[in-house]
Amino acid sequence: MALLERVSTLVRANLNDLIDKAEDPEKMIKQVILDMQNQLLQVKTQVAIAIADQHLLEKKQKENEGKVAEWMRKAELAVDKKEDDLARASLQRVESFRELSENFQQQVTDQKAQVENLKSALRQLEQKLTEAQAKADVLIAQHRRARAAGKANDVRMASGDGSKAAAFDRMKRKVAHSEAVSQAKGEIASDNMEDRLAALEKEDRIEHLLAELKSKRGA
């Protein structure tokens, strides 16, 4: 029966695995619970129908058993009345209703098995639904924690990436080099100014010495 196969699939479903594989765990677990509730209603309906069919078959079986007893009494009466033809006809009816009774008995047995299968499926599905409803919030919370932990690990791995660290070191060296170049340029500019002042002072001393020499020489 397709219904029992669907129920079996739901009962065997591992909620943890379903949540781990789902893109949207909350939506998935709600859908699973909804599917279980729908199947539960269908199974309850089928159980009621199966029980009704069982009662109908049992009624038919009893009716045929009653017919067997009734025609047996008629056969006995025909024998008592020395009516062998009527007795034979009555016994034929006895055999016919007995066969029908045995057929209904087999159907009743099969129907009882079907009812028990449906009841068992109903109990299992009710248990699975209760489990799913009880675990839904816990499983979703666990998945959220796992997802958050995964993201945290991704961040830690990204922050520990050697290539990014190397790039950062290169940037630091580049900035330090730029600062050194700027400082060197400043020092060069300062040296040029000092050299020019020193040259002027030297020229002034020379002129002063020349004037003293000319004064001494009476020039």
Contacts with 65 (C-beta within 8 Å, 6 or more apart), sequence order: 97, 101
CA distances in angstroms from 82 to 34, 72, 77, listed in the order given = 72, 15, 9
Please check whether residues 113 and 200 belong to one and the same domain. Answer: no
> Given CA atoms 34, 38, 39, 43 in this order, what sign does their dihedral have?
positive
> Final residue of a domain: which of 159, 183, 205?
159
What pLDDT is attached to residue 160? 54
DSSP 160: T
Please check whether residues 173 and 153 belong to one and the same domain. Answer: no
pLDDT tens, position by position, 79-129: 998 888 999 999 999 999 999 999 999 999 999 999 999 999 889 888 888
What pLDDT is attached to residue 94? 93
pLDDT tens, position by position, 24-37: 777 777 788 888 88
pLDDT band of residue 10 (cuts 50, 70, 90) is low
Lowest mean pLDDT among 70-79, 89-98, 193-202: 193-202
pLDDT band of residue 190 (cuts 50, 70, 90) is low
DSSP 81: T
pLDDT tens, position by position, 139-185: 777 767 777 777 766 666 655 555 555 665 676 777 666 666 666 56
CA distance 91 to 89: 5
Q: What is the mean predicted confidence (pLDDT) over 25-53?
A: 87
Please check whether residues 181 and 104 belong to one and the same domain. Answer: no
The token duo for 31 is 């859908």
- Asked whether the whole model's pTM tops 0.85, one would answer no
DSSP 22: -
**Residue in 53, 209, 36, 199 with CA at minimum distance from that of residue 132:** 36
Please check whether residues 108 and 55 belong to one and the same domain. Answer: yes
What pLDDT is attached to residue 115? 94
Domain that includes residue 207, residue range: 168-219
Number of domains in the chain: 2
pLDDT band of residue 204 (cuts 50, 70, 90) is confident
CA distance 107 to 109: 5
Please check whether residues 31 and 77 belong to one and the same domain. Answer: yes
